[in-house]
Chains A and B, each alone.
Chain A
């Protein structure tokens, strides 16, 4: 059973169409990365899967059931979301934030028991932030905050994890750490990961499948090997670029070509 199946889904604000006739399915254990230019509808699609926006037309199934048949709480037990990073300006400690992930599993006032505390600790151990448990969120660096938010999503014990550009605004070390973390989560806990990203090179190295969006339409879907071709990328991004093999081997590598370099080449010829 595929965790996410979309058939001909559409979304629009008034007469402005954001997503048009989009069909795809995410297989269990997939590392599914959604790519595309700015304003192509990536975040909207993620919000629709998270049931924050309601799909206007078409059929969207989460764990086999139409999304409108899930209650918000039951969906929260199968699906966790890590939204785009926003400035943190509340004084919760990292531990308090991670524990919030237990809410959909708990009853009145979400009073956590020992068991929930253990789950929170394990999740923080997993993302390497356990030593920060009692620090206030607003005292942590961007990379640390992001790992706390991911620990919160793990603590929610979902089957599908949705992430919106989790590596944006992080330095190189933290980018690779977050991606490795996702890989570990998928391999060790069997989670299905759906991620929106801007970084094609990272996506090429980690994704099992890619979905390209352009102006709300599907512009390519498949394994990185299948879709990351010069023809596809030039059509989608309309900018000069180079596609070759990564020196690491086994991955595609995308290099952007600056304008001055093009001029030099033309002049050199």
Chain B
């Protein structure tokens, strides 16, 4: 018997298809968002292999919890929140977050003028972020890219708000220095 192929032409239809546990809808949602979610996972984990695990676990959580999406606000924003939580959970399991409180003193000289970020490709920038020290990476990603505030970061990472601010500042300096070096061709 021939089954009618669903098109899921709108995001709403796609979400409703996923709520009904329809595999084609799940597949389409995955194909639409997996590249960006993989980048997110890599930015947090700093490790491609671990990022693949986060991608897997994140989508499983997403498909199981998609009914709780309220329908208000950005779906991708809601989805990113799930993947950030999955990444943090994964890193917590791997005991990576334990050293978040430690201030990395290996920060180089802070650049006054690191040069425009746009001179780097997105891939180069992502690799730079992924190579940041653990504590810097989590705080910088959560604050600068995902838009968490310091209170939320402190709660998620179990650190003080002061530490969050301090690490963000150092993370920015670390990244600006690396960008400057890249721009100067070092």
Chain A complexes with chain B:
no
Measured CB to CB, the residues of A under 8 A from B are none
